Structure 1
Amino acid sequence: MGFVAAKWRRPTTMDSLDEWGLGGRNFGSWVTWFLIGGDIYTAYTFVAVPALVFGAGAAGFYAVPYTIVVYPLVFLVLIRLWSVSHVHGFVTPADFVRARFGSPTLALAVAITGIVATMPYIALQLVGIEAVLKSMGVNGHWPILIAFAILAAYTYQSGLRAPALIAFVKDGLIYLVIIVAVLYIPHKLGGWGHIFDAGQAKFAKTPDPGDGVLLNHNNQLNYAMLALGSAMALFLYPHSITGILASKNRNVIKRNMAALPAYSFVLGLIALLGLMAIAAKVVPISTDGKPDGNTVIPLLFDKMFPDWFTGVAFAAVGIGALVPAAIMSIAAANLFTRNIYKEFINRDATDKQQATVSKLVSLVVKVGAVACILLLDPQFSIDLQLIGGVIILQTLPAVGLGLMTRWFHRGALIAGLVAGLAYGLYMLYNIPNPAKHKAHFGGSAYKLSELGLDTKMTVYVGILALLANVAVAVIGTVICKVAKLADGIDATKASDYTADEGDPKVHPMELSPQ
């Protein structure tokens, strides 16, 4: 299907980022729904969320409220981003920042931040595939190498059309497996009452006071802040924005923001698989003497399902990794091409040259992702996902707030971004994880006692870093305005943010130095 996608709605040429990287900007409601759903509900989500519930209980359910509140939060913002991108031909969020604030430096910072945050996310799709392979008793990395070689080939040929078409299969399989799981497995285990009792019995024996089937006063604040921070970060990721910009009009986005919470319902069911694994007495596979929690759900499927349906479930996880990995690599490649190559290397690059560079860079990104999973400790790569969320959240003032106001000064936004990244990474570095014998990067929950507060409560690092970012941006803007420092020229106008399909487009802005 990935290769056939090159002929699906085939244009006269694929030699442009509009066609290769955004599918012709012509996806309707159904295609967009499956594309975005396949993009943000990844294989790592299907494996890691229930694994977190298996290990920590109710805290693992944070993914459910965050994928509910995100859609009303971004409803108005995303249609404004689509409109201004439609008018000016923007391909990446950094393109918008470049035009809005007249600053190639700020756009470069946003682009690099997006690429850095996306790379480990691509690598993490392999965690789901590896968990399945471990459960099957397959040793070695050759199946992953083959899978990503095929992924690289059809992405190079078909661009965004490939994951858009495959997403129909991926989402269909996921829905099938989860619906069967929540009906069939509880029946075999003796009902939901027994499942929750088994979970409570396990967590009553754990030393961590935050573990349990209910939240407590120690982890409620972190739960809420993690959900809110993750919601604000989700549509800042370049791959999420790529799915939005591929839509054909504003109404498509509105319908999707209303319909996508259907995935949140399924995500809630997926989280319950963690409690089912406890009741089924699943024991994670150990790697180098350490239990690999990511193998819990594949092992549950292997134990509870007939062999033939276990194969279907494993296939769903595998395809669930390839769809988002393709979109993420395209998004990262577009950022490099538009905001590094065209801006700083070849300002006169033609559409064909840009498309060629993006295709080649998408291959490099995939190779880098495979290298991450082959060379790094998988536990460390999982920690990188937490770092990725904190990192991408720091682009909120420039991208998210920039869509609503032009008040901020470009220099202050750069200072805020740097401050947020520095403070966020500093806090992450100082979070230990005694259970895994780690002194640094042990999670994303920062103790408020480190800030001088007399409490055992923790809070999500991303929120604290974002507050520092916004504070620096606001104070810096005031100082810059008082000092009358030169600011960039806004290449957009008010009507650009309400334009719709059929409205006239303008010639893409010329990249003049500021």
Structure 2
Amino acid sequence: MPVNWIALTVFVLCFAGVTVLGFASAHWRKGDLDLLHEWGLGGGTFGTLITWFLIGGDIYTAYTFIAVPAVAFGAGALAFFAVPYTTLIYPITFVVFPRMWSVCRRHGYITAADFVRGRFGNRWLALAVALTGLLATMPYIALQLVGLEVVIAGLGVTTEGLIGHLPLLIAFVILAAFTYTSGLRAPATIAVVKDLMIYIVIIAAVGVVVRTFGGFGPLFAAVPPEKLILPTPPAGSTGVYGVYASLALGSAAALFMYPHAITAILSSSTRNVIRRNSALLPAYSLVLAFLTLLGFMAIAVGVKAKPEYAALFARYSNQFAVPALILDIFPPWFAGFSFAAIGIGALVPAAIMSIAAANLWTRNIHLEFINPRATPAEESRMAKLVSLLVKFGALVFVLGIPKEYAINLQLLGGVWIIQTLPAVLIGLYTRWFNSWALLAGWAVGMAFGTLVVDANAFKNATYVLSVGGYQLPGYVAIYALAANLIVAVVVTLLVNMVLRPERRDATVAADYV
């Protein structure tokens, strides 16, 4: 496909604008960026509007823009599990995360592992939470770069060979530079621009396609019927219904366990900011519904049958559905604007994720096990360096390893990160669990989930549970979490029968309100 010079020019201009904004944000609500709290949490000063954009930019990423419609394009209605799961999470956020904000603000905790360390007094349990966060985050960052690469290919720029890797290298340098200098303030300010751009793109895409087909009815009529609904389960099984429901539930439970989501939460200025955002964030779920619908629009337009996109579909498969749709329905200048929105949608979450990973390494590994006497300035310096290494690792991952590996590891990411839920979320409400029992449960959940995904050859994360001859296929993260909790409960009961219950807890009830 030839280079689309008009689209490429608009794309570069938009990127240049957010680059300037990223560096300038170091002076916004200026704080001492030699302190980890200021660099890694923006000083905890973000109000309702900035937090809304930050969390939205954190969750609704470039890869979301590419991958969710790709599932709808390929598998059909199953992709819409993303809509109820993002709706389910916000009542949980409203109830649970103000408690986390309060206790973390009271004790100066920056990560979920900090809280676990204080709550349970077990450095090894905190290490398990930190390592899980790092493991789940690394492929997530890589996938943002995968999404950016798909967009660059859509502009007609080759993504193969040394020259083909140059655009990604440039984007990496930009991301690394403004994250290092500005910390969380950079993605917070850029998230505002990114989200507004994405809203414009989605509204325009829906409007153009619906006008072309004369309404939603004709649009759905142009999609094969088997893609519009989930297949009826066979007798004796919940079939895809169980997979759909458990995917929604498991994804909701895992979403705010990711370090970057907790980082965004802890950057809020007050508890009420979190509550207000929990009420406002469902607006993003509406956007996600239309975003998923883009997959059906791409089917209706017939982009896969067009010869000019054949090579890119062969390279990126269904992930090229949205870029192809954008190229097909928009003039070149707006296609460039749309691709810039997706590309900036890669920079924002990648920046937050690298900051969250750096916070985990610095606080819960380096400070805890390597250099306990590090000064606040040394802490901040270490976090900045680690954020560079994390992004560099993600870049090497994307450039040197087949894309399927990043996608496969991200599949495991949700299975892994949900195993921290008992220690973090349940730990916000009770200290009943024995810390070593939680560690044992975590190990069982991690092993079970990993083995099931590996047995599926990394093609899906489904496990079929047989109960009385009835088949219950579902998202393995849910079953792994169930195993985790069962082990944690049983071991706690057994330990408490033999030994006195643990009393180590740096927090008190008043810290949570």
Deviations 1:139-159 (A, max 9, x none): 122111100111000100000
Structure 2 match to 1:501: none
CA distance in 1, matches of 2:375, 2:41: 17
Point out where structure 1 has 5 or more consecutive residues left out of the alignment.
Answer: 204-210, 432-439, 499-514
Structure 1 residue corresponding to 2:245, chosen from 224, 241, 247 = 224
Q: CA deviation at 1:289?
A: 5.1
- Change in 2 beyond 3 A, CA 1:153/1:407: same
Structure 2 match to 1:243: 264
Q: TM-score, normalised by structure 2?
A: 0.91
Q: CA deviation at 1:128?
A: 1.4
CA distance in 2, matches of 1:376, 1:186: 39
Q: Which runs of structure 2 are paired with 1:48-197 in the superposition (5 Å)? A: 48-139=67-158, 140-197=164-221
Check the 8 A contact 1:56/1:212 in 2, yes or no: no
The SS at the match of 1:489 is coil
Structure 1 match to 2:479: 464
Q: CA deviation at 1:293?
A: 1.2
Structure 2 match to 1:213: 229
Q: CA deviation at 1:381?
A: 1.4
Q: CA deviation at 1:483?
A: 1.2
**Comparing 179-188 with 261-270, which one deviates more in the overlay?**
179-188
CA distance in 2, matches of 1:286, 1:392: 36
Q: Say whether 1:305 aligns with 2:305.
A: no
Structure 1 match to 2:354: 329
Structure 1 match to 2:16: none
Check the 8 A contact 2:437/2:489 in 1, yes or no: yes
Q: TM-score, normalised by structure 1?
A: 0.91
**Comparing 184-193 with 329-338, which one deviates more in the overlay?**
184-193
CA distance in 2, matches of 1:285, 1:362: 37
Deviations 1:232-287 (A, max 9, x none): 00110000000111111111000001100000000001111000000110116556
Structure 1 match to 2:396: 371
**Comparing 280-289 with 117-126, which one deviates more in the overlay?**
280-289
CA distance in 1, matches of 2:216, 2:465: 36
% identity of equivalent residues: 55
Q: CA deviation at 1:33?
A: 0.5
Structure 2 match to 1:6: 26
Q: CA deviation at 1:383?
A: 1.9
CA distance in 2, matches of 1:5, 1:22: 14
- Change in 2 beyond 3 A, CA 1:190/1:167: same
CA distance in 2, matches of 1:312, 1:287: 20
Q: Say whether 1:279 aligns with 2:300.
A: yes
Q: CA deviation at 1:216?
A: 3.1
Structure 1 match to 2:48: 29
Structure 2 match to 1:207: none
Aligned Cα root-mean-square deviation (Å) = 1.5
CA distance in 2, matches of 1:47, 1:216: 28
The SS at the match of 1:459 is strand
The SS at the match of 2:433 is coil
Q: Say whether 1:448 aligns with 2:465.
A: yes
The SS at the match of 1:446 is strand
Q: Say whether 1:356 aligns with 2:377.
A: no
Structure 1 match to 2:512: 497
The SS at the match of 1:298 is helix
> Which residue identity is paired with 2:106?
V
Check the 8 A contact 2:111/2:262 in 1, yes or no: yes
- Aligned pair count reads 479
Q: CA deviation at 1:458?
A: 2.1
CA distance in 1, matches of 2:283, 2:314: 39
Point out where structure 2 has 5 or more consecutive residues left out of the alignment.
Answer: 1-20, 159-163, 234-238
